[in-house]
Structure formats: C-alpha cells, structure tokens
Amino acid sequence: MQPILAVAAMGGTIAMTAPAPGAAAQPRLDAVDLVRGVPELADLAAVLATSVCTKPSASVEVGDVLEALTWGRTQVDDGASGVVVTHGTDTLEETAYLLDLLWDRPEPLVVTGAMRQTDLTGTDAPANLLAAARVALTPEARERGVLVVLNDEIHLAARVTKESSTALDTFASPGFGPVGRVQERHARFTSPPAARPAPLPPPEAGPVDVALVEAPLADDGRVVRALLTAGFRALVIDGSGLGHVSAATSQVLATAVGDGVVVVVASRTSRGGTGRATYGYIGSEAQLIEAGVLMAGELSGRKARLLLHVLLHAGYAGVDLVAALEERSRV
C-alpha cells in the first residue's frame, strides 16, 4: 500500500504564472494544479491536496498559517506519513518557523516554494515540490519538527533564512548549514534528530501583537517612541553586532521596560547572535540586559517576533517568559 502524502498550497511564486505573455506573474495555481504538474508524485504516495490560500507570501496572515497547521494535523492523524506546505519564498522562513513552534506531531512537516514561476523555462517549482515530498515521506525526517526544502537542501525552520532575492540557492542556514540533502532520489541527513522544545499552543488568528524595528546608525529613538505611542506592548529590536542600540534608543527601551513593555533585542547580523557580557557601554548588550531587556540569541528579529507573539498569547510572563526565550534562542 502506498503511503499518504498531504500537500497544502499557500500561494507564492511556486503557484504563479503570467496572465499574458510578457506580463508580471500572479498567484493563479491551486494545490491540485501543483500536484498535477509533478506526475512523479503519484509514484511516491497517494496525494491529498488542499488550497489554504493563493496569496503572495507578504500577504499571508497568522490565520492562514493556523489553517495549514490544523489541516496538516488532521491529515497526519488520519494516516498521512508527512505534510508538505507550498509557500512564497519572501516570508517562507517566518511561516516555517511559526509552524515549527506549533507542530506537535512526530511526522515531518516540510515547507517548500520556488524562485522561478511555474510557466518559466527552468522553473524550480516541480523539482522543489518533488524533493519536499521525498523528505516528508522518509522515516529519517521524523521527530525533526518543520523542515524547509529547496534546491535539494534540507534546513531546520529555526535556522533557515532567505539570502538572495533572485538566486535558486537563496535559502541557507548561516553558521550552521543544511541538516541534509536530497541526493539520488533519497533524503540524506547529516545527523540524528536533536531534542526540540515542547510545542507551544497556537495563538489566535489575528494580527501579530509584536512590533519589529531595526536600530540603524544615528537612531534617536523616535521610531520606538512612535511604536509605543501606537500601543505596542511588546517590541523586537534588530540591533547591530551582539545586540546593540544607540544611547538614545537604549534610554527609550529602559523606560519602556519600566512601564511593563516586553523588549527583545536581536542581532541584525546573519551569524553569531546576541551576546551578554562582551560590551558594557550605554546601548550595549550588557547594559540593556541590566535594564531588563531580553536577548534573542541566535534567532533573527523576524523569528524572535513570532516567538514572542506566541509566548505572550500562551500567557508566558516574568521568569517563565525569560526561560522560554532562552530555551528557543539556542537554535
């Protein structure tokens, strides 16, 4: 008997074609279209397909991700060996990470997409979908949480990022590398599954309540003050280096923490993450920690935003919030 593979489509370039010759691409294909475009899938599994949404990934909402999560859980509970979610690459790393925080099944959930629309010569869409299916169906992919598969590379959702706006090899895990590859029609992993934090309860299907802002050169803190005035009670700051902000912004953040706002500082660099005690000047990681600011560790600001959103919706606060952030910041 063939295994069962569940495929959920969420739009993106993998689902895009041009409405007329020479026109700009738009999301037009649903899950059935995508599966039909890869006939080799029928040799691997009995495929169950659904379309969660047909959006460019910048417009994907938390509710869409939760719908894919719920559908994937149901299919696994009904006997599917694995789940593939197709998605636009622009925000793929964020959706994959949000799913990873919530995925509570041993079966693999694999997110994939494409860098070239489906009706272009040399499109990577069919190859990426087929590779993702191979990973989702392999027993060695179990207990690894959510995986991202493109360009025949397998990445952990917590580590992967999009490095190029155009290249086929755009997805990478800086400082870590992929955890496996699809080679000669088989998924090959470099190491056994690592221990994962316990899955978190899903948040409500609404807007993300956490603001994300970068701390650039000559920042005077006005953007952070504007966010606080707008009502945000949780902030993630993409700081420089080991998690640094300007002296002016550090004062705004310290005041915000004193008023009960949760502030997390990440590093806008792609490798190394935040520190704790290397620098001690005003605006440094040590000074910010002393003021009650939390550090994102190895997590990017984009992923720290989603993690903080999920934790706050789950009721984490105080020392429990600190511990949960620290546990998941060591990706």
Active site residues: 13
Give the C-alpha separation, 238 to 256, whole Å: 16
Under a CB-based contact definition with an 8 Å cutoff, are residues 156 and 145 in contact? yes
| CA 251 centroid distance within chain | 31
SS3 content of the chain, % helix, strand, coil (to 5): 35, 20, 45
| Cα 88 to Cα 95, 96, 152, 295, distances in angstroms | 10, 11, 17, 29
Maximum alpha-carbon separation in the chain: 65
* 290 contacts: CB under 8 Å, gap ≥ 6: none
Q: Provide CB contacts within 8 A for 241, sequence distance 6+.
A: 267, 269, 279
What is the rounded CA–CA span in Å between residue 254 and residue 237? 13
Q: Smallest Cα–Cα separation from 213: which of 256, 277, 272, 150? A: 256
Evaluated on CA atoms 69, 71, 75, 78, the torsion sign reads positive
25 close to 16: Cβ distance less than 8 angstroms: yes
**End-to-end alpha carbon distance in the chain:** 37
| φ, ψ (nearest 5 deg) of residue 327 | -65, -40
How large is the angle between the packed helices 92-102 and 62-77, nearest 10 degrees? 50
Chain centre distance of CA 266: 15
> Which residues are bridge partners to 161 per DSSP?
172
